[in-house]
Every structure is written in structure tokens, then in C-alpha cells.
Amino acid sequence: NAGVTQTPKFQVLKTGQSMTLQCAQDMNHNSMYWYRQDPGMGLRLIYYSASEGTTDKGEVPNGYNVSRLNKREFSLRLESAAPSQTSVYFCASSESSVLGASLKHFGDGTRLSIL
């Protein structure tokens, strides 16, 4: 009954370091998403994967890469972290990305600070 699980929950990096945020869902969902949330701004889509084997850019993809490892897992990679990437990152999943498929399941986030 885990839903969407994100690891790690907290991370501090130095500028220029790289890291991968992990996300896994156990609901057999086809679509998965990565959002970032910053103070005073709405959730903004970084990348999404409509189905296994596909990925697409969202609103703010620069500085990030993603991998849909399998149907369960969708990872987000920062190759060279910058202070502007300090944020809370949320992974989400849905049955599909088509009309009527509500985005109902979010993880509890990864809080990332880049010094």
C-alpha cells in the first residue's frame, strides 16, 4: 500500500555535484511525472513519461535528465547541480495521461539543497 515512494527524502549537495532522485510506484500506472515546487510558485513539470519507454520535456527541463527504468521506476538526474535547483521535487503517477485520467498519486517529495 505504498503508492509512490521517493528516495532520498532530504539531500544537500555542493554546486557541481551530481545525483539521482529515485521514484517508484506500485500501482501499475503507465504515466509518471517529475515536478518541482518552489516558494511562491506553483508546481512546475520537469519531465514526464506517458508510458514505459517514452519521456518528454515539461515546462522546466534544463539541467535535468530522466530515465524510465521500467514501468515502476522513473528517476531524475542532476548532472551538475546549481543553486537554482534548490527545491522540493515531487514524483507522481497516473493510470494514463489521456483525457479523464486524474493525477491522483504523489510522493512525499525530496527536499534538495544545493550550496
Partner 1 sequence: EDQVTQSPEALRLQEGESSSLNCSYTVSGLRGLFWYRQDPGKGPEFLFTLYSAGEEKEKERLKATLTKKESFLHITAPKPEDSATYLCAVQAPGYSTLTFGKGTMLLVSP
Percent helix, percent strand, percent coil in the chain, to nearest 5: 5, 50, 50
Instruction: Tell me the C-alpha distance between 57 and 40, whole Å.
Output: 23
Position 98 contacts partner 1 (CB under 8 A): yes
Please pick, from the candidates 48, 78, 81, 114, the single residue that binds partner 1 as defined by CB under 8 A: 48
Position 53 contacts partner 1 (CB under 8 A): no
Please pick, from the candidates 43, 55, 60, 86, the single residue that binds partner 1 as defined by CB under 8 A: 43
Instruction: Tell me the C-alpha distance between 29 and 110, whole Å.
Output: 21
> Any alpha helices (H) in 31-110, and if so which ranges?
none
Query: Are the beta carbons of 74 and 34 closer than 8 angstroms?
Result: yes
Q: Smallest distance, Å, CB 56 to partner 1?
A: 8
Cell numbers that stand for 84 in this block: 537554482
Candidate ranges 22-30, 64-72, 78-86, 97-105; the one touching partner 1 (CB under 8 A):
97-105
Candidate ranges 17-25, 68-76, 79-87, 101-109; the one touching partner 1 (CB under 8 A):
101-109
Q: Which is nearer to partner 1, 14 or 41 (CB)?
A: 41
